[in-house]
């Protein structure tokens, strides 16, 4: 309860920050975008990660205003990237279950895209399998609406749900993100290697892009590249970092 009360205050007092983790195109080795990951600068506890407060925010309903803040901040970022050297960058934002199933998301997105004149194709929304499956009909309708606007949709943590394949059948999406649980043991576990390779092939056969999460070693990177995985994200390339640092990293590439 203490943390919950403190969270509402944190939003009012602007203690949240978006960190960015680069996403790398494997064929070229270049940064093609980033995933936005929320951080909380607690005045006494220091930096608090989302694993500690997102579940509380979900339960208390704070996730709605917090999620709106994240989208607003992401829109500002995309608008500020309309400058040479940054204009190609895509930004991926995580959506919580409540955000997906609430009525406010689409009007809020429409307002943001319009106000900031953002190319919707540069905004990607990540939805976990479990969030989408809480209300498959509603999720399906939401994804249709998002994609009709040109916004990209990715399935997060792909393969960890109970019905990953049904998800592919039910929902119109653009990309899947292979969960890091599968990537972790690619080198040591032949089953994981087969699962990852087959998942990439399956996604491509369906016309979907693939991002591998949690890439930590050169061997994993080589494997994924050999299997035609499109993009990767993980500590091998970079940890989530403040916006200015990310922008400097992108600029230093060219």
216 binds, among Na ion, ligand G, Mn ion, none (CB under 5 to 8 A by kind): ligand G
Strand segments (E) across 88-221 = 90-94, 123-128, 152-158, 175-178, 209-212
Instruction: Please identify, using beta-carbon distances, which residue of 72 and 228 lies nearer to ligand G.
Output: 72
Q: How far apart are CA 165 and CA 170, in angstroms?
A: 9
51 binds, among Na ion, Mn ion, ligand G, none (CB under 5 to 8 A by kind): ligand G
Q: What is the dihedral of CA 229, 235, 241, 244, to 10 degrees?
A: -60
Instruction: Please identify, using beta-carbon distances, which residue of 85 and 129 lies nearer to ligand G.
Output: 129
Region binding Mn ion by CB under 5 A among candidate stretches 23-31, 119-127, 134-142, 200-208:
119-127
Q: Find the binder of Mn ion among 68, 124, 126, 231 (CB under 5 A).
A: 126
Question: DSSP letters of 17-41?
Answer: EEEEEEEEETTTTEEEEEEEEEEEE
Nearest approach in angstroms of CB 232 to ligand G is: 9
31 binds, among ligand G, Na ion, Mn ion, none (CB under 5 to 8 A by kind): none
Instruction: Please identify, using beta-carbon distances, which residue of 102 and 234 lies nearer to Na ion.
Output: 234
Q: How far apart are CA 64 and CA 81, in angstroms?
A: 26
Nearest approach in angstroms of CB 195 to ligand G is: 18
Instruction: Please identify, using beta-carbon distances, which residue of 81 and 182 lies nearer to Na ion.
Output: 182
Instruction: Decide if residue 233 touches Mn ion (CB under 5 A).
Output: no
Binding residues for Mn ion restricted to 129-188, rule: CB under 5 A: 156
Strand segments (E) across the chain = 16-25, 30-42, 46-48, 90-94, 123-128, 152-158, 175-178, 209-212, 231-232, 241-242
- Distance from the first to the final alpha carbon of the chain: 48
Instruction: Please identify, using beta-carbon distances, which residue of 48 and 250 lies nearer to ligand G.
Output: 48
Q: Which residues bind ligand G (CB under 6 A)?
A: 21, 37-38, 49-51, 54, 70, 94, 96, 156-157, 180, 213-216, 234-235, 240
Nearest approach in angstroms of CB 254 to Mn ion is: 27
Instruction: Please identify, using beta-carbon distances, which residue of 61 and 254 lies nearer to ligand G.
Output: 61
Please choose, from the candidates 193, 187, 233, 192, the residue with its C-alpha nearest in 3D space to the C-alpha of residue 209.
Answer: 233
Binding residues for Mn ion restricted to 50-109, rule: CB under 5 A: 94
Half-sphere exposure of 125 toward its Cβ, with a 13 Å CA cutoff? 31
Nearest approach in angstroms of CB 212 to Mn ion is: 12
Chain centroid offset of residue 236 CA? 18
Q: Which residue ranges make up the site for Mn ion (CB under 5 A)?
A: 94, 126, 156
């Amino acid at each position: 309860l203490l943390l919950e009360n403190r969270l509402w205050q944190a939003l009012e007092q602007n203690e949240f920050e978006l960190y960015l983790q680069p996403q790398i195109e494997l064929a070229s080795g270049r940064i093609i975008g980033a995933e936005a990951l929320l951080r909380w600068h607690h005045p006494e506890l220091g930096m608090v990660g989302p694993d500690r407060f997102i579940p509380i925010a979900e339960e208390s309903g704070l996730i709605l205003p917090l999620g709106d803040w994240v989208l607003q901040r992401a829109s500002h970022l995309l608008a500020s990237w309309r400058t040479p050297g940054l204009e190609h960058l895509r930004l991926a934002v995580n959506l919580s279950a409540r955000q997906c199933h609430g009525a406010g998301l689409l009007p809020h997105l429409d307002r943001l895209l319009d106000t900031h004149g953002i190319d919707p194709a540069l905004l990607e929304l990540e939805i976990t399998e479990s969030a989408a499956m809480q209300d498959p009909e509603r999720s399906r309708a939401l994804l249709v609406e998002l994609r009709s606007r040109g916004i990209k949709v990715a399935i997060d943590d792909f393969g960890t749900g109970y019905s990953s394949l049904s998800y592919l059948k039910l929902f119109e999406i653009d990309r899947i993100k292979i969960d890091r649980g599968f990537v972790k043991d690619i080198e040591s576990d032949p089953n994981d290697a087969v699962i990852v390779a087959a998942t990439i092939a399956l996604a491509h056969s369906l016309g979907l892009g693939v991002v591998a999460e949690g890439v930590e070693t050169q061997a994993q990177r080589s494997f994924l590249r050999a299997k035609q995985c499109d993009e990767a994200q993980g500590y091998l390339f970079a940890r989530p970092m403040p916006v200015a640092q990310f922008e400097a990293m992108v600029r230093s590439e060219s």
